[in-house]
Amino acid sequence: MPILSRKQRVSDEIPTASMADIAFLLLVFFLTTTVFNEEKGLPIVLPEEKEEQEVSAKNILFLIVQPDGSVTVRRGESEQEQIVAYRQVEGILRQELAANENLIAAIKTDPSAAYRHMINVLDEVKKAGAERISLQMVGE
Amino acid sequence: MAVKAGGFKRRSGASSDIPSSSMADIAFLLLIFFMVTTVFRREKKREIDWVSAEATRKIDEKRKNILHLWIDNVGQVWINDQAIADEDIARVVRPIYAQNREIVIAVRGDRDVPYSKINTITKQLQAAGAVRVTFATRLEQRLQRPRR
């Protein structure tokens, strides 16, 4: 058999047929590994420093968050207090807002109460559609 | 002038294949687009127990306008991967706020942190002038309740 008679015919081009597959593979890899971490939460605007306003007592509904997570509701004028579970706050606040749309929901939290209790109440207040919210701490 | 052979003889020379030679270019273009637009997280993720709320909303703000303030389960405050003492928060946030007035502080607190901590932080943020705050929460779904 003659060895050197046939020339080898190797193409000197880069094969481009599979290029699209490679690119799409990379594309799919990046698409699946990308994590969109959305920012979610309960937005609130704090008052500017030293811009705390005096409001008349009849426009305030105090929601006092106790260390155990229960809520004491006190209408600004009266001394009367009502202890409720936080799930009931939304209903109470809705009623109050229907009666007085200028009502300010003042969430007054005990310093030793866990953050989640305060968020639970803030959540209820947000759900009730209150626009005017004040965050305070008991004993200030 | 007569149309040659009645205009019917010649078959159209158009190929019925989808042109695949430019497919690679399209794919690479998409690839480069995604690579360029991907923003890598700058800070370490901290393990906290999230608080959840039903009223959780998406914060419609550009990523560069959001500053994360972490409060871990021992009450340590972290901003941009740096542990910060409570009384230094205003000092750290003030220059950030001065650079970007649109800044929103996303407070990512552990659910068991006592409220006095949160109160200190909001006071510090007020002192720094950064009054737009978000309490970062996870969406809570209560199944036993009908949707409103």
Contacts of A120 in chain B (CB under 8 A): 53
For residue A23, what pLDDT is reported?
81
For residue A17, what pLDDT is reported?
75
Contacts of B66 in chain A (CB under 8 A): 39
* ipTM field: 0.72
Contacts of B44 in chain A (CB under 8 A): none
Looking from the CA of A112 toward its CB, the CA atoms found within 13 Å total: 3
Question: B59 or B141, which is more confident?
Answer: B59
Residue B143 pLDDT > 80: no
Residue B2 pLDDT > 80: no
Contacts of A27 in chain B (CB under 8 A): 27, 30-31, 34
Angstrom distance (rounded) from CA A81 to CA A63: 10
Cβ pair A112, A86 in contact under 8 A: no
Structure tokens at A18: 């599979």
Residue B19 pLDDT > 90: no
pLDDT in tens, A106-128: 999 999 999 999 999 999 999 99
Residue B8 covered by a domain = no
Residue A97 covered by a domain = yes
For residue B16, what pLDDT is reported?
78
Residue B135 covered by a domain = yes
Cβ pair B77, B71 in contact under 8 A: yes
For residue B124, what pLDDT is reported?
92
A114: containing domain? 57-137
Cβ pair B67, B105 in contact under 8 A: yes
For residue B34, what pLDDT is reported?
80
Angstrom distance (rounded) from CA B86 to CA B88: 5
Question: What's B116's domain CATH number?
Answer: 3.30.420.270
Q: Render the burial of A57-73: b for 16+ CB within 10 Å, e for the rest.
A: eeebbbbbbbeebebbb
**Residue A40 to residue B56, Cβ atoms within 8 A:** yes
Of B6-10, B77-81, B97-101, B137-141, minimum mean pLDDT range: B6-10
Residue A29 covered by a domain = no
Domain total in chain A: 1
* Residue tagged 């701490």 (tokens): A137
Residue B114 covered by a domain = yes
Residue A116 covered by a domain = yes
Question: What's A96's domain CATH number?
Answer: 3.30.420.270
Residue B42 pLDDT > 90: no
For residue A42, what pLDDT is reported?
92
**Residue B126 to residue A113, Cβ atoms within 8 A:** no
Residue B41 pLDDT > 70: no
Q: Work out the minimum CA distance from B16 to partner chain A, whole angstroms.
A: 18
Q: Render the burial of B58-96: b for 16+ CB within 10 Å, e for the rest.
A: ebebeeeebbbbbbbeeebbbbeeeebebeebbebbbee
Residue B93 covered by a domain = yes
Residues with Cβ within 8 Å of B100's Cβ and at least 6 positions away in sequence, in order, are B64, B65
A:B CB pairs within 8 Å = 150
pLDDT in tens, A33-58: 776 667 889 999 988 877 677 778 78
For residue B118, what pLDDT is reported?
92
Question: B74 or A6, which is more confident?
Answer: B74
pLDDT in tens, B95-141: 999 999 999 999 999 999 999 999 999 999 999 988 899 999 988 87
Whole-number Cα distances in Å, A76 to A28, A84, A93, A107, A115: 59, 17, 13, 12, 24
Mean pLDDT of the residues in chain B: 83
For residue B114, what pLDDT is reported?
93
pLDDT in tens, A124-133: 999 999 888 9
**Residue B113 to residue A115, Cβ atoms within 8 A:** yes
Mutation for testing the B interface, residue in A39, A66, A107, A137 having most B CBs under 10 Å? A39
Residue B120 covered by a domain = yes
**Residue B41 to residue A122, Cβ atoms within 8 A:** no
B115: containing domain? 52-139
Cβ pair B62, B147 in contact under 8 A: no
Annotate chain A with three-state secondary structure. CCCCCCCCCCCCCCCCCCHHHHHHHHHHHHHHHCCCCCCEEEEEECCCCCCCCCCCHHHEEEEEECCCCCEEEEECCCCCEEEECHHHHHHHHHHHHHHCCCCEEEEEECCCCEHHHHHHHHHHHHHCCCCCEEEEECCC
Question: A18 or B38, which is more confident?
Answer: A18
Mutation for testing the B interface, residue in A31, A123, A138, A140 having most B CBs under 10 Å? A123
Residue A11 covered by a domain = no
Q: Work out the minimum CA distance from A117 to partner chain B, whole angstroms.
A: 8
Residues with Cβ within 8 Å of B84's Cβ and at least 6 positions away in sequence, in order, are B77, B78, B92
Residue A128 covered by a domain = yes
For residue B144, what pLDDT is reported?
58
Residue B28 covered by a domain = no
Domain total in chain B: 1
Q: Quote the DSSP letter at residue B114.
A: B
Q: Work out the minimum CA distance from A83 to partner chain B, whole angstroms.
A: 20
Q: Which of A23, A117, A119 sits opposite B31 (nearest CB)?
A: A23
Residue A40 covered by a domain = no
Q: Which of B27, B59, B66 sits opposite A20 (nearest CB)?
A: B27
What are the two backbone dihedrals, phi and then psi, of residue B67, each rounded to the nearest 5 degrees?
A: -115, 125
